[in-house]
Structure formats: structure tokens, C-alpha cells
Amino acid sequence: MSQPQIILLKEGTDTSQGKGQLLSNINACTAVVDTVKTTLGPRGMDKLMVDGQGQVTISNDGATIMKLLDIVHPAAKTLVDIARSQDAEVGDGTTSVVLLAGELLKEVKGYIEEGVSPHVIIRGYRQAARLSINKIKELAIKISKDDKEEFYGLLSKCAATAMSSKLIYSQKEFFTKMVVDAVLSLDQDSLNERLIGIKRVPGGAMQESLLVKGVAFKKTFSYAGFEQQPKAFKNPKVLCLNVELELKAEKDNAEVRVEQVSDYQAIVDAEWQIIFQKLEAIVASGAQVVLSKLPIGDLATQYFADRNIFCAGRVAKDDMDRVIQAVGGSVQTTCSDLRDEFLGTCDSFEERQIGGERYNLFEGCPQAKTCTLVLRGGAEQFIAEVERSLHDAIMIVRRAIKNNLVVAGGGATEMEISKYLRVHSRTIEGKQQLIVGAFAKALEVIPRQLCDNAGFDATDLLNRLRMKHAQPGGTWFGIDVNNETIADNFEAFVWEPALVKTNAIAAATEAACLILSVDETIKNKQSEQPGAGMPRGGMPGRGRGVPRR
């Protein structure tokens, strides 16, 4: 007697499972890797992406590309997540982590086809990743923070390496100093990169970009009387408010019933009196620069202009937060008790023309735990890419300060780990030997891709690298992109924080293991919207022409 058929899932549900599903997931990830792999390294190409609204982005930053790729394959979306996590945690190495995850999957595709259990592969990969990360920690060189000049040089080299694959490579020296100074101006305990403001001003040359050791923000919306205000101060007192300084229009259909004209006049006078009390309190506090998150109207603007006070309303929250960090004081939500300790100060305040925009600049700040990069350049897309490049360099310098362990870049670390794993795999019995060997081979994708992107003979250079790493003293040999050869990249100052490598290997292994552990995809048919197919009356059977009861 045959078993009755049991229908478990809704009709129309798409299910794919087994070995075919695993191979399909691996192929999807490989396709994503093929898209981003040409962006790796100093000779990497850029991608031009256009979204649904016609917004154009030109970038070679792995995380940005992965974010803008509208990937629909569920397994391939894992690669987007690891690129984002690498960007958030370290800031650089986003292309490397995607490339590594794709190569780890590609290396074991043959084993999957031959019927090796994914769990054997996962166990081998996890073991190999653990060995790799421990080896990197052994190899990494600790840089002392005691010598300030030497430490500054280390940070500069890490920033320069992060920029070598970016659009700003030609101005590397100019931007390296800017980035290191910016990070060192932050509070060294928290190193909050959000306190580095980046402002874009189209026009001018890249070299006209400047670092303001304080705060700079664009002139806000202004009313009549603004031009009569002084535009520069020495040692001003700065007052930051979250108070609206304008005559209020009644909102929410408020209704005031009056019986006599004098009653109406009393209401108007009261409104004027309220705002004048606020303005007089601000003037009495001795503040010469008044900033508010809320609007400052024309009456207040003119009032301040007559008393030689500068004001700016509608200041963005992040700009206001950075002003507080720089000048001291605190944001006030009332004007009733403005004491001296609530006000900040700085050496100079100035409203200056930068390109086609006017900027408010606070410089020489006593608290200066913040700074602003004002970026110049031709096209808007160009400046946006410069901003992304500087973000990567800032994150790398920040990481180098927190974890002062460095390794050599240019594929040197990957080749050394690959050699170490190959040697170690010979001491393991059974299938695990092949899996650890596959992991070792996958690591070679980084130097190979660097060669391919630069148009070099990858086979020849990789053979030379393998030979060099097998000899004593060849630990830091990697690809020298400028001279089409191999070189000691530690001597050549191609340095990266060890965290970039350890995080990339851990994230790529985790993503590969996650994809290998999936053997079935269940895709639910899209549920119908509630009320779909019902007549407009909202109840079935009550269409047009049916009288209400």
C-alpha cells in the first residue's frame, strides 16, 4: 500500500536541494568575485555604477561596489555582508575579503563534485583559519609608540599603503600627512572617526584640499541683517543653543478669541517680549558667536548684527556636536541661565570663501578633539571617491594606533601563510590534508590578482615568490607593482595593520563555511497583499451597485 502524499509547503514554493544546490551557490559567489576582483591593488580598475534614479558612482572600493550591486541570489548576499563587516571593523581590505571567500569556495568545488561531505571541508577550513591567524600574530612586528617621530612615520606608511590602490595615489604624500594629522587630533582613547568632518567643495585642484584643526561647516540659511554681522573674531565666546529665535506663527490651527483690539495687541506684545527676553539674555552672557540647531529669524539676526554678534541657525546636528567637542561648553535648550561655563571659546572664528561656498571656520580650539577635511576637486563623483579613499586611510591609521602590530602588504603575508599551511598539511592524515592544502592555495589569489591587474606574468612571479618564501629570510617578499618584480615589502614600507589580514581571513572563512553548510534553498511564493482581489468597499460581495442595508 503506497504512502499518501503529504503537502508540507504552500503551492508555488520553490525548493532546490542537494549537491546541485551547493554548486549553484558556489557558482553565484564566483560570479560576484569576478565583478570586483579587477579593482584590487595599485593597478586596480574602477567600476561605474548607475542606480535606478540615474545616480552615477565611480569607485574601486570593494564595500561601496558590493553595496551598490543589486544582488538577488540569496547565497551571494553573504559576500556583501562580509565586505560591509570588514569596512566597519577595519576600513580597508574589502575587496581582498570577497576575493578570498570566493577562492576558498572555488578550491573545494571539485571535492564537492566528488562527494566529499561539506562538514569535512568546514572542519578543515576552520582549522586552517585558526592556524593562519595565529601565524600572522606571530609574524606581526610591534611598533613602539614611545618615539613620537618614528610612530608618526609608521602611521604615514600605513596610510600610504591604504591609498596606493585608490584614486588619490598621485597625491599620496599630500593626503598622507592630512590623514595622520586628522586622526592624531582626535581623543586618543576613543578615536571616534565620526568626529572627523569631511566637507566637499566642487571646483579647484585636489591639492587645494585643506585640514582645519577645528570645525568648518557651510554657511547656513541666513536672513536680512546677516551681511551686517562681523565675519571674524579673535578669542570669541561661543554659545551653542537648541532654541528657536523667531516670532512664532501659531501652529495646529490654534484659536485665540479676543473681544477688543487691546487684547489682540497684548498677545502681540507678549510674543515680542518673549523673544526680546531671550535675545537680551544671550547678549548679557557675553557670547560673540551664537549657533543654534533651530532657526534664527530675521528679527534676531538684525538684533545681533546691531550688537556686533555673529549668529547662524539651522546648524546640522553632527556639525554642532563637533563644535562642542572643539570649543568646549554645552548645548543649551533655554536662555534663562547662561553661565560662563556653558560657553566655549577658540583662538579665531572666521567666515571664509572656499570655492563657490562660504564656510564658518573655528580654529585654534583648546579642546580640539575634532577636525575637518575640506576636499576640493573637479567633478562631484571624483570628490566622492576621494572621500571614500580617505575614509579607508583614516580607518587604517585609527586601527594602527589601537593595535600597533603591522605586517607587509603586496601579497607577502598571504604567501608566507600559504607556505606555512602547505608545510603543516603534510603532518596531517586523511582528507584534512587536502582541505588545508586547498586553503593554502586559495591564499595565493591575492598576489596572483595583483599581478593580473597590473598586466604582469602571474605564473612567473608566483613561482619566484614560492621559491623566495621557501628560503630563510624571504618572509616579507611580495609583489613590487612599480618594477614588475618581487621585493621585500617590509623594507619598501608597504605596511598594513595585522588586523586587516586576520579579520579578512576570519570573515572569508566564516562566509565560505556558511555557504558550504547550506544544502537547500526554500523560496516562498510572495504572499498576496491583504485585501487583494476584494472590491473597493473592503468586504467581499459588496461591489458597485449593491445597496447598503
Q: Active-site residue among 39, 57, 61, 78?
A: 61
237/286 Cα distance (integer angstroms): 7
Residue 45, phi then psi, degrees to nearest 5: -90, 160
Q: Does domain 214-252+264-367 have CATH number 3.40.50.300?
A: no
The domain limits of the chain are 13-142+407-524, 214-252+264-367
**Homologous superfamily in CATH for domain 13-142+407-524:** GroEL-like equatorial domain (1.10.560.10)
509 is catalytic: no
**From 87, 92, 319, 392, active-site residue:** 392
Give a three-class secondary structure readout of 43-99.
CCCCEEEECCCCCEEEECCHHHHHHHCCCCCCCCHHHHHHHHHHHHHCCCCHHHHHH
β-sheet bridge partners, residue 214:
363
CA gap 114, 105 in Å, rounded: 15
For residue 372, which of 218, 220, 215, 186 has the smallest C-alpha distance? 215
Strand, helix or coil for residue 517: coil
Q: Please indicate whether residue 502 is annotated as part of the active site.
A: no
Residue 532: what pLDDT?
47
Given the residues 57, 64, 78, 95, select the one marked as catalytic. Answer: 95
Say which amino acid occupies 285: S
Taking only the tens of pLDDT, the chain with its 549 residues reads: 555 656 555 555 555 667 788 888 888 889 889 988 898 888 888 888 888 888 888 888 888 888 888 888 888 888 888 888 888 888 788 889 999 999 999 999 999 888 888 899 999 999 999 999 999 999 998 877 777 888 888 888 888 888 877 777 778 888 888 888 888 888 777 777 778 888 888 888 888 888 888 888 888 877 777 788 888 888 888 898 888 888 765 555 567 777 788 878 887 788 888 888 888 888 888 888 999 988 888 888 888 888 888 888 888 888 888 888 888 888 888 888 888 888 888 888 888 888 788 888 888 877 767 888 888 887 788 888 888 888 888 888 888 888 788 888 888 999 999 999 999 999 988 888 999 999 999 999 999 999 998 898 999 999 999 999 998 888 889 998 888 888 898 888 888 888 889 999 999 999 999 998 887 777 776 654 454 444 444 444 444 444 444
Query: According to DSSP H, which parts of 143-290 are helical?
Result: 148-163, 172-184, 261-284
* pTM exceeds 0.85: no
Amino acid 463: pLDDT: 93
Question: What is the DSSP secondary-structure string of 402-413?
Answer: HS-EEEETTTHH
Instruction: Please indicate whether residue 337 is annotated as part of the active site.
Output: no
The CA distance from 366 to 54, in Å, is 45
Q: Is the CB of residue 352 less than 8 Å from the CB of residue 175?
A: no
Conformational region of residue 533, where left means phi above 0, alpha means psi within -120 to 50, and beta covers everything else? left
The reported pLDDT for the residue numbered 534 is 45
Other C-beta atoms lying within 10 Å of the C-beta of residue 104: 29
Active site residue 392: yes
- Answer yes or no: are the C-beta atoms of 284 and 339 closer than 8 Å: no
Residue carrying the nine cell digits 556558511: 514
Three cell numbers, residue 502: 586576520
Of the residues 39, 57, 64, 94, only one is catalytic, namely: 94
Q: What is the dihedral of CA 497, 503, 83, 435, to 10 degrees?
A: 130
287-323 burial string, b = 16+ CB within 10 Å, else e?
Answer: bbbbbbbeebbebbbbbbbeeebbbbbebeeebbbbb
The predicted structure's pLDDT at residue 251: 52
What is the predicted pLDDT for the residue at 536?
46
